[in-house]
Amino acid sequence: MKVDKSYDAMFKDIGMDFDEALNNSGVDAKGRKQWRDVVFAAEVGFRFLTLDLTLPKGVGPFPLVIFIHGGAWLAGDPTVTNPTYRKLDFINKLLEAGYAVSRISYRLSSEGIFPMQLYDCKSAIRFLRVNAANFNVDPDRFAAMGDSAGGHLASLVGLTGHRPELEGEVGKAKASSAVQAVVNWFGPAELLTMQSQRIDQNWSSVDDPKSPESRLIGGAVQTNQAAAIAASPVNYVHSNAPPFLIQHGTADRLVPHAQSVALTNGLKRAGCDVTLLTIEGADHCFWGVDHKGIVEEVIAFLNVKL
C-alpha cells in the first residue's frame, strides 16, 4: 500500500487535535454532564483559550449562561473562586435552576491591550453557538454574565453584538456573538470617571499608569482618553441592546457604584430594558453583607428574559 509522505499528510496526523475535547465529556461531582478544557481558539504565539461547560440535569437544549471571570483584566482564570463566591454558590445555583453554564477564558492585559479581551470573549460565544447541538444548549438563549472586569466585558459583549468592526478574528468559528441577556456584577462602565467617583481616594488611583484600567488600554487613563472611551461600555449603548440586570454594592471601594448608575441611566435613555439592583453596604464582590437573594434575583431575571 502506498503511503502518503507529503508534509500535508504528516502535519494532519501529528498536529494538535483540539476538536477531540468536544467528544470527551465527563460528569461532575453531582453527576452532571461536563466538558473541561475545551480549546475554542489557538492564536499563534499565545496560550490556548479554553472553556468549561456543565449541563444541568434534565432534557435540553438548555439556555446557556456564559460566565466571564474578573481579576482586573490582569489575573484569574475561569476556575478561580474565593470564600465570598463559595458562599454565593452561584454556578451551582444556576445549574440547579436549569441553566447550562460555560466559564470562558480570555487573554489578560499582560498579553495584549483592549479590545483583545473583547475579541476573545466573542470568539468563545461564536464557538459555543456553532457547537450548540453537540453541547445540547439553545443557540437562541445565551446570556453573558461577569463580575468586575468580567462584568465590564459582559456588558461590552451585550452592547456590541451588532458591531462587525468589534468582532475580531480570534478562532475559526463563524456565527453570531450576540447574546440575549446580560448580567453585570459591578463592572466598570466609564473609565474616565472612575477615579473621581471613588469613595476611598486612598486606594491606588485609576489614573496611575500601572493601574488595572491603564494596563487594559496600554497607557494612563487620563492621557489616553480616546482609548479609555473606546473601552467604556457607556459609549456603546444603543436602543436594541439586550435586557440588562446590573447588581452593585453601595460600598464598593474598587469599582464605584456610580459606574453602574451611569450605565443604567444610559440604557434607560436609549429605551432599553435594564434593572439596577443596589446592594446596600456591599463592597466589591458583595463583600460584607448577607448574600441572601442576590443569585435568586439573577435567576428570576433569566427566567423571564431567556
Q: How far apart are CA 9 and CA 287, in angstroms?
A: 56
Q: How far apart are CA 251 and CA 259, in angstroms?
A: 12
Q: State the pLDDT at residue 11.
A: 73
Quick check: helix, strand or coil at residue 182? strand
Q: Could you write out the DSSP letters of every residue in 119-150?
A: HHHHHHHHHHHHTHHHHTEEEEEEEEEEETHH
Q: State the pLDDT at residue 291.
A: 87
CB of 174 within 8 A of CB of 122? no
Q: State the pLDDT at residue 79.
A: 87
Q: How far apart are CA 49 and CA 43, in angstroms?
A: 8
- What domains can you pick out in the chain, each with its CATH number? 25-305 (3.40.50.1820)
Q: How far apart are CA 252 and CA 84, in angstroms?
A: 14
- Cell readout for 229 is 472611551
Q: State the pLDDT at residue 122.
A: 98
Percent helix, strand, coil in the chain, to 5, is 35, 20, 45
Residue type, 269: R
Q: State the pLDDT at residue 228.
A: 98
Q: State the pLDDT at residue 43.
A: 86
Q: State the pLDDT at residue 222.
A: 96
Q: State the pLDDT at residue 19.
A: 76
Q: How far apart are CA 166 and CA 73, in angstroms?
A: 18
Q: What is the pTM of this model?
A: 0.94
Q: State the pLDDT at residue 260.
A: 98
Q: How far apart are CA 77 and CA 136, in angstroms?
A: 24
Query: Which of 9, 81, 18 lies closest to 48 in space, CA to CA?
Result: 18
Supply φ then ψ for residue 71, to 5 degrees: 125, 25
Q: What is the pLDDT along the chain (306 residues), one digit of tens a residue?
A: 787 777 788 777 777 777 777 778 899 999 999 999 999 998 888 889 999 999 999 998 999 999 999 999 999 888 889 999 999 999 999 999 999 999 999 999 999 999 999 999 999 999 999 999 999 999 999 999 999 999 999 999 999 999 999 999 999 889 999 999 999 999 999 999 999 999 987 777 999 999 999 999 999 999 999 999 999 999 999 999 999 999 999 999 999 999 999 999 999 999 999 999 999 999 999 999 998 899 999 999 999 999
